[in-house]
């Protein structure tokens, strides 16, 4: 994994007495205190980040937390008051006008919250815009733009006017326009916030699909924690211009840095983030397919369970046998394999939300299979226990 974007000690202040404000900030005063004492608004305070090539990096925070200010520094629509930003090893503030244009034309593109589309141009002409600015020839320009329009699923709409499109379609145009330049980095400033919930879900799915094909580095801004956890390989959470925590969704979920993060992710759909491997338990009762009936029955009774998983010598799952069946059939069949039933299997990387419907109807715990081997089981009880172990829930129970 190589670093592609880097933010180093960046501050962004608006107002007159910036030095004074910075002094207060370094002493740990809050944004409000600094504003009150010096009249300086702190948009960003001591931000440090490293974004790796090919990852989807989500920056999340409430409005006014500085996330949009920060993302605009990556293509220098905003300049930091202090600190440095790097693209690979190039410090961005060192670029002269010509180099900056080249950087924006070739390396980085942006998708805007309210789409930023030009109403006097058709869909095709909008998507062509970046290529037109670069001076790409007419044939190549149209071909490339059409390819992108097809990629985002707008084929047939290329000659439509922008105001004839729905919100979701408009943002598809925005995405196609940004991708047409084949940038290394895609900046997305709350691209789906203006869309209604169903369309938003579609677009998130679409983005994941496109990202799988294109493998861009994406810097994604949002205030929706579920969106952040769904799309992000890593998530940075911001508050009052500072970055509080940078982590994978799962680590952030299990190790929130502070109270604020805890409260922020409280609203998150835990089941969408956490995967089966976090809730699975070691199977209590495993029997081998060549075991005798009596041993199997004894095993279940000893462990006080009503079913056992049957595996072969390589731990390959054969099925499940229930105590009831074992007792009923032990004199009628010759081998254990004659009484096993199929069992629903899942993979350790599936999200909990995916397996919830299965878990709720399954008679026996779900078997977790990795490389054909039984690695664990997930029972209704284990899922419930896990969901209930939410620190916030615990807190509210205690108080």
Partner 1 sequence: MNWIYEFPFQLTIDTSAIDKGVRSFALTFDAVLRVIRQGLTTVLLAISDLLTFIPWWVLVLLVIVLYFKQSKRLWMSIIYGVLLSMIGMIGLWPLMISTLSIVITAVILSVAIGFPLGLLLSLSERANMIMRPVLDTMQTMPVFVYLIPALLLFGLGRVPAVMATIIYAIVPIIRLTNLGIRQVNPEIVEASRSFGATTLQTLIKVQIPQAFTTIMAGLNQTLMMAMAMVVTASMIGAPGLGAEVLIAVNRIEVGRGLVSGSAIVIVAIILDRLSQGWVKPSEEEGI
Indicate which single residue of 8, 20, 132, 269 sits in contact with partner 1 (rule: CB under 8 A): 132
User: Shortest Cβ distance from residue 167 to partner 1 (Å)?
Assistant: 14
User: Shortest Cβ distance from residue 227 to partner 1 (Å)?
Assistant: 20
User: Shortest Cβ distance from residue 114 to partner 1 (Å)?
Assistant: 5
Q: Are 151 and 176 in contact (CB under 8 A)?
A: yes
User: Shortest Cβ distance from residue 149 to partner 1 (Å)?
Assistant: 17
State how far the Cα of 217 lies from the Cα of 109, in Å rounded to an integer: 11
Which helix or strand (DSSP H or E) is residue 300 part of? Answer: helix 293-303
Q: Is 384 in the site for partner 1 (CB under 8 A)?
A: no
8-state DSSP, 164: G
Site residues for partner 1, 134-153, by CB under 8 A, read 134
Q: Which is nearer to partner 1, 166 or 335 (CB)?
A: 166
8-state DSSP, 15: S
Pull the structure tokens for residue 99. 């180099």
Site residues for partner 1, 176-235, by CB under 8 A, read 181, 187
Q: How many residues bind partner 1 (CB under 8 A)?
A: 31
User: Shortest Cβ distance from residue 196 to partner 1 (Å)?
Assistant: 20
8-state DSSP, 111: E
Q: Which is nearer to partner 1, 100 or 323 (CB)?
A: 100
Q: Which is nearer to partner 1, 189 or 240 (CB)?
A: 189
Indicate which single residue of 33, 79, 90, 133 sits in contact with partner 1 (rule: CB under 8 A): 133
Q: Are 273 and 229 in contact (CB under 8 A)?
A: yes
Specify whether the backbone of 302 is left (phi greater than 0), alpha (psi in -120 to 50) or beta: alpha
Q: Which is nearer to partner 1, 181 or 379 (CB)?
A: 181
Q: Is 119 in the site for partner 1 (CB under 8 A)?
A: yes
User: Shortest Cβ distance from residue 379 to partner 1 (Å)?
Assistant: 51
Provide the 3-class DSSP secondary structure of residue 336. Answer: helix
Q: Which is nearer to partner 1, 155 or 161 (CB)?
A: 161
Q: Which is nearer to partner 1, 14 or 112 (CB)?
A: 112
State how far the Cα of 176 lies from the Cα of 123, in Å rounded to an integer: 10
Q: Which is nearer to partner 1, 29 or 107 (CB)?
A: 107
Q: Which stretch binds partner 1 (CB under 8 A): 46-54, 96-104, 257-265, 355-363?
A: 96-104
Q: Which is nearer to partner 1, 121 or 278 (CB)?
A: 121
Indicate which single residue of 27, 120, 159, 332 sits in contact with partner 1 (rule: CB under 8 A): 120
Contacts of 154 (CB under 8 A, 6+ apart): 123, 169, 172, 173, 176
Indicate which single residue of 38, 56, 69, 75 sits in contact with partner 1 (rule: CB under 8 A): 75
- Buried b / exposed e along 301-315 (16+ C-beta atoms within 10 A): eeeebebbbbbeeee
Task: Please state the separation of Cα 30 from the chain's center in Å.
Answer: 29
- Buried b / exposed e along 14-33 (16+ C-beta atoms within 10 A): eeeebeebbebbeeebbbee
Strands 41-52 and 3-14: antiparallel
Q: Which is nearer to partner 1, 20 or 106 (CB)?
A: 106
Indicate which single residue of 2, 163, 360, 397 sits in contact with partner 1 (rule: CB under 8 A): 163
User: Shortest Cβ distance from residue 238 to partner 1 (Å)?
Assistant: 21
User: Shortest Cβ distance from residue 26 to partner 1 (Å)?
Assistant: 32
Backbone angles phi, psi at 149, to 5 degrees: -65, -40
Cα separation of the two ends of the chain = 45
CA atoms within 13 A on the CB side of 159: 1
8-state DSSP, 365: P
User: Shortest Cβ distance from residue 139 to partner 1 (Å)?
Assistant: 20
Q: Which is nearer to partner 1, 7 or 180 (CB)?
A: 180
Site string for partner 1, 98-117 (x = CB under 8 A): --xxxxxxx-xxx-xxxxxx
Q: Are 378 and 359 in contact (CB under 8 A)?
A: yes
> Which residues form the interface with partner 1 (CB under 8 A)?
75, 77, 100-106, 108-110, 112-121, 129-130, 132-134, 161, 163, 181, 187
């Amino acid at each position: 994994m190589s670093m592609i974007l880097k933010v180093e000690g960046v501050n962004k202040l608006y107002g007159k007495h910036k030095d004074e404000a910075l002094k207060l900030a370094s002493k740990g005063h809050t944004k409000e205190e600094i504003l009150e004492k010096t009249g300086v608004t702190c948009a960003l305070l001591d931000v440090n980040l490293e974004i790796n090539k090919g990852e989807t990096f989500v920056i999340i925070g409430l409005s006014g937390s500085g996330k949009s200010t920060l993302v605009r520094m990556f293509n220098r629509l905003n300049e930091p008051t202090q600190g440095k930003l790097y693209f690979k090893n190039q410090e961005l503030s060192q670029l002269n006008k010509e180099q900056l244009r080249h950087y924006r034309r070739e390396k980085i593109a942006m998708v805007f919250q309210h789409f930023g589309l030009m109403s006097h141009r058709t869909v095709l002409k909008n998507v062509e815009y970046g290529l037109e600015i670069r001076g790409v020839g007419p044939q190549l320009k149209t071909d490339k733009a059409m390819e992108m329009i097809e990629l985002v699923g707008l084929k047939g709409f290329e000659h439509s006017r922008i105001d004839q499109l729905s919100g979701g379609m408009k943002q598809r145009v925005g995405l196609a326009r940004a991708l047409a330049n084949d940038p290394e980095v895609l900046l997305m400033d709350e691209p789906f916030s203006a869309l209604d919930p169903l369309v938003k879900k579609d677009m998130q799915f679409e983005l994941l699909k496109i990202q799988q094909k294109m493998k861009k580095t994406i810097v994604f801004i949002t205030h929706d924690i579920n969106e952040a956890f769904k799309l992000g390989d890593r998530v940075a959470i911001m508050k009052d211009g500072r970055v509080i925590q940078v982590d994978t969704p799962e680590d952030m979920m299990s190790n929130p840095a502070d109270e604020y993060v805890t409260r922020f992710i409280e609203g998150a759909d835990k089941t969408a983030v956490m995967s089966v491997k976090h809730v699975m338990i070691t199977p209590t009762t495993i029997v081998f397919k060549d075991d005798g009936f009596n041993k199997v029955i004894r095993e279940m009774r000893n462990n006080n369970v009503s079913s056992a998983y049957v595996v072969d010598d390589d731990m390959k799952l054969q099925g499940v046998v229930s105590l009831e069946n074992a007792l009923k059939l032990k004199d009628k069949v010759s081998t254990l394999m004659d009484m096993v039933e199929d069992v629903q299997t899942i993979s350790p990387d599936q999200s909990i939300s995916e397996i919830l419907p299965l878990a709720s109807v399954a008679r026996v715990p779900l078997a977790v299979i990795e490389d054909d081997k039984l690695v664990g089981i997930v029972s209704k009880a284990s899922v419930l226990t896990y969901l209930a172990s939410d620190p916030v829930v615990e807190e509210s129970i205690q108080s």
